[in-house]
Amino acid sequence: MKSRRVNQSVIPHAEGDTVEFKSSFNQDAIVALVAFANTSGGSVYIGVNDRGGVVGVTLSPEAVRTWVNEIKSKTAPSLVPSSEILHVDGRTVVHLHVPEYPVKPIALQGRYYRRSGRANHVMSFAELTELYLQTFASSWDYYLDDQHGLDDISLDKVMKFAKAVNPGQSEDPLRVLRKMELVRDGKISKAAYLLFASEYASITDVQIGRFKGSTTIIDSLSLNVDLFSEVDAILAFIKKHLMVSYVITGKAKRDEVFDYPVEAIREIVLNMVVHRDYREAGLSVIKIFDDRIEFFNPGGLSSGLTVQKLLSDDYSPASRNKLVALAFKEAGLVERFGSGIHRILASCRLHGGCEAVFASDQQGFKVVLNKTDLKTDLKTDLKTDLKTNGWRSVVSEALVANPSLTVPALAKMLGKGITVTKQYVATLKIEGAIRRVGPDKGGKWEVIAGQ
């Protein structure tokens, strides 16, 4: 076992996602280690109070080995933390560490925990199921649907999907389903039902309302349809209730600007539909007010994922519904996994008329688009951005917000000539910051993360 003298600075300043302090070794210390193993890994410092002060512990020769054996005997699969004795200004601290375990979930005497911020929470049945499926590289929507069969899905909808994936080609719909593992052994998966339900789909329910004030509903829509149809219907309803302004750009024709960025709304709706936890009994709700739009999904984020991690890119992109996500990607509706949040933020920033706020708890995940002052001169604002942030940042954000943007349209937004704008784009391509996916006409831009 390692033992070394260290400075106080080696001890973290505060508890968090991967750090917990304990004045002495007890059951709560094991709870924390199990929670870390089920989430992103972490360390427990024995001999440190909850304020981060080193109080030290008194150790017998076999104390730490006894602790480790207790942890092993009380957990399943057995958890074996690494241990190190730290001598800090004459006091002894024991550092116990576990990585995120590859085989999850880990139980402590029949109970399962996960880490969220500074707290350890008992996991729900839905969280346990999701964690188990993630461990074996599967997802809930991969499993066969014992409530529905081939008669409950529309082969016409499958054909429409196949034509979107491979334009100009004709393919047997059942072969398409089998190739994507949406149908196996003559039975449909849960994803196949979600994607191609022929009529009423009970678990896809969405309620949308246009409100005046906090309680008066002036228009509403209820949906229980396949997911592709659901996206189209939601976007059409929201767009019907958006306000439009006209921006003077110095040209004969005025530019139309909606009070919210349509691209951000599209990203939110796609993420809502693709990543929703369809095992939850609650329904998805969209509320349109005069000053904001609220999007709510039941079930919250995937296990171990937080809003902070989403915003900081401190996570590995993973889909709750892998087959659904793949189908949307194949159909060209999803650009790439894990980029939705930043596309929303970039769209709001370029639009200038709203801000996006994200929140998550055990009840669900919510996105709110709050209306702010709408820009009256987009060209002037972008010129200011060019001066303060540099053209690389502005061009990259513009392409994140709208991957289908053409060079002439980008030049118009920047207030630059087409030749200069082409030079901007060419430089970013050479630097590896962006790349073109597909042909010049009909293709899309992809901004490379980290460049």
Give the domain CATH number at 435.
1.10.10.10
pLDDT of residue 246: 54
pLDDT of residue 376: 42
Number of domains in the chain: 4
**Do 12 and 77 belong to one domain?**
yes
Mean pLDDT of 45-73: 94
**Do 10 and 45 belong to one domain?**
yes
Distance CA 194, CA 216 (A): 32
Examine the fold and report which residue of 200, 222, 239 is the final residue of a domain before the chain moves on: 200
pLDDT of residue 378: 44
pLDDT of residue 384: 52
221: in domain = yes
**Do 241 and 331 belong to one domain?**
yes
Q: What is the pTM of this model?
A: 0.61
409: in domain = yes
**Do 337 and 370 belong to one domain?**
yes
**Do 58 and 102 belong to one domain?**
yes
181: in domain = yes
Q: Do the bridges between strand 183-184 and strand 354-360 make them parallel or antiparallel, or are there none, so unpaired? A: unpaired
129: in domain = no
Mean pLDDT of 68-84: 91
Q: Give the orientation angle of helix 391-401 with respect to helix 407-414, to 10 degrees.
A: 130
* Residue 394 CB coordination number (10 Å): 23
Please write the tens of the pLDDT for every residue from 342-379.
888 888 888 877 899 998 877 889 999 998 864 444 44
DSSP class per residue in 190-259: HHHHHHHBSS--GGG-EEEEEEETTTEEEEEEEE-S-HHHHHHHHHHHHHHT--EEEE--SSSSPEEEES
pLDDT of residue 380: 47
128: in domain = no
Please write the tens of the pLDDT for every residue from 385-434.
555 557 777 788 788 878 888 888 888 777 777 888 888 888 888 778 88
**Do 356 and 226 belong to one domain?**
yes
**Do 236 and 299 belong to one domain?**
yes
26: in domain = yes
Give the domain CATH number at 100.
3.30.950.30
Distance CA 164, CA 327 (A): 11
Give the domain CATH number at 322.
3.30.565.60
Please write the tens of the pLDDT for every residue from 205-231.
999 999 988 889 999 999 999 999 999
**Mean pLDDT over the full length of the chain:** 85
Please write the tens of the pLDDT for every residue from 218-274.
999 999 999 999 999 999 999 999 887 655 455 555 556 778 989 999 999 999 999
**Which is higher by pLDDT, 334 or 230?**
230
**Do 220 and 364 belong to one domain?**
yes
336: in domain = yes
**Do 326 and 371 belong to one domain?**
yes
Q: Is the pLDDT of residue 117 over 80?
A: yes
Judge contact between 52 and 21, C-beta under 8 A: yes
To the nearest whole percent, how much of the chain has pLDDT over 70?
Answer: 89
Mean pLDDT of 5-28: 94
Please write the tens of the pLDDT for every residue from 146-180.
889 999 999 999 999 998 888 877 788 999 999 99
Using omega within 30 degrees of 0 as the cis cutoff, is the peptide bond preceding 105 cis?
yes
pLDDT of residue 377: 45
134: in domain = no
Element (H, E) at 393: helix 391-401
**Do 210 and 344 belong to one domain?**
yes
Domain of residue 424, residue span:
388-451
* Residue 217 CB coordination number (10 Å): 13
**Do 160 and 99 belong to one domain?**
no
Examine the fold and report which residue of 166, 200, 234 is the final residue of a domain before the chain moves on: 200
Question: What 8-state DSSP symbol labels residue 274?
Answer: H
Q: Is the pLDDT of residue 121 over 50?
A: yes
Mean pLDDT of 74-92: 92
Going by C-alpha positions, the residue among 68, 53, 63 that lies closest to residue 21 is: 53
Examine the fold and report which residue of 331, 359, 387 is the final residue of a domain before the chain moves on: 387
* CA torsion angle 424 426 429 433 (round to 10): -10
pLDDT of residue 236: 95
pLDDT of residue 360: 85
**Do 282 and 330 belong to one domain?**
yes
